[in-house]
């Protein structure tokens, strides 16, 4: 009877984008809209973001911001291999048309 009065807590998955895969999906969705990414590019970018975020401890958003400001040349090379030259230029400097 005493056991029944104890609250039961289930392990919950957080939906606050703190997981690298969830945060990466948001970033890929945004980049896909802005750069018209193809399906294969979306998948490759998602895998790269999750992998690098997990390795570096940075969120995908922080990772992309650092890469855009030339603070992560290694990931910039990864992006160049996924994006077309035009897409990379548009991502790097969105103000230029």
pLDDT 10s digit of each residue in the chain, 97 long? 455 555 544 434 444 456 889 999 999 999 999 999 999 999 999 999 999 999 999 999 999 999 999 899 999 999 999 999 999 999 998 877 5
The structure's pTM equals 0.78
What does the block give as tokens for 19?
């997981």
CB 46 within 8 A of CB 82: no
CB 80 within 8 A of CB 92: no
């Amino acid at each position: 009877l005493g056991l029944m009065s104890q609250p039961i807590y289930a392990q919950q998955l957080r939906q606050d984008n703190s997981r690298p895969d969830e945060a990466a999906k948001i970033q890929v969705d945004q980049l896909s809209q802005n750069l018209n990414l193809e399906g294969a590019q979306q998948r490759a970018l998602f895998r790269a973001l999750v992998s690098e975020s997990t390795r570096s401890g940075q969120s995908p958003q922080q990772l992309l911001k650092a890469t855009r400001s030339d603070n992560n040349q290694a990931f910039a090379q990864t992006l160049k291999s996924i994006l077309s030259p035009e897409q990379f230029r548009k991502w790097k400097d969105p103000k230029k048309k």
